[in-house]
A and B are shown apart, each in its own frame.
Chain A
Amino acid sequence: GENVEQHPSTLSVQEGDSAVIKCTYSDSASNYFPWYKQELGKRPQLIIDIRSNVGEKKDQRIAVTLNKTAKHFSLHITETQPEDSAVYFCAASIRGNSGYALNFGKGTSLLVTP
């Protein structure tokens, strides 16, 4: 399938600092870009998403930006807290024969140290 590249694979920040995770995608037809957070042993949970007709979206300490021309999007977490420690996945929508699905990046393990 079409690739979604995610960087970095691990990220360590101090509490209160900002964290940025970047993704690139290759399918120009992708038009939906979600971010999921997965805590250890739990299921992935959607934290924010953006559609291709929007360049930026913010929800409290979390923001996502999208550059469709360059085919990349980023997750920004400000004022990080220890409970933000988790694995974060980006994804891009893909169109199959019968419907839509998501291609996921390989994940970023974020550690926020007090």
Chain B
Amino acid sequence: NAGVTQTPKFQVLKTGQSMTLQCAQDMNHNSMYWYRQDPGMGLRLIYYSASEGTTDKGEVPNGYNVSRLNKREFSLRLESAAPSQTSVYFCASSRPTSYEQYFGPGTRLTVT
């Protein structure tokens, strides 16, 4: 099992550019999550998806969109990147009968 995988590992964007962060899990988990982590701010929830076809906003959804493509994949899109979106992005997943979340390795995004 690869667990939760994320691509890319690193990305540099210019202000206004768009990109999609990819996340996949092979643990047959129902729920998937996107967080951003900034120094001193902990992990803040952007969006999550309890199952294929459903998504919910988290604490900081502005400037992001998500797609739950299928049970395995949950992507995060930045339509017009801003310097305030410079962060480390973590994807996570959890089983339907458990709250425990398993995290991916993260994507370090810099917007200049």
Residues of A near any B CB (own CB < 8 A):
1, 6, 9, 32, 34, 42-46, 49, 89, 91, 93, 96-107
Contact = CB atoms under 8 A, between A and B. Distances in A.
B42 A89 contact: yes
A103 B44 CA distance: 7
A93 B55 CA distance: 17
Contacts of A101: 33, 45, 48, 56, 58
- Overall SS of chain B's interface: loop
Interface of B: 30-31, 33, 35, 40-45, 48-51, 54-56, 58-59, 90, 99-101, 103-106
Given A1-B59, A43-B104, A44-B103, A100 B43 contact: no
Contact of B103 (A1, A6, A9, A43): A43
A106 B48 contact: no
A103 B104 CA distance: 18
Given A99-B30, A104-B42, 12 more contacts: A1-B59, A44-B90, A96-B48, A99-B49, A99-B56, A100-B50, A100-B99, A102-B33, A104-B45, A106-B40, A106-B42, A107-B42
Contacts of A43: 90, 103-106
A103 B42 CA distance: 10
A44 B106 CA distance: 10
Contacts of B90: 43-44
Contacts of A44: 43, 90, 103
A101 B30 CA distance: 12
Contacts of B33: 101-102
B22 to A, nearest CB: 16
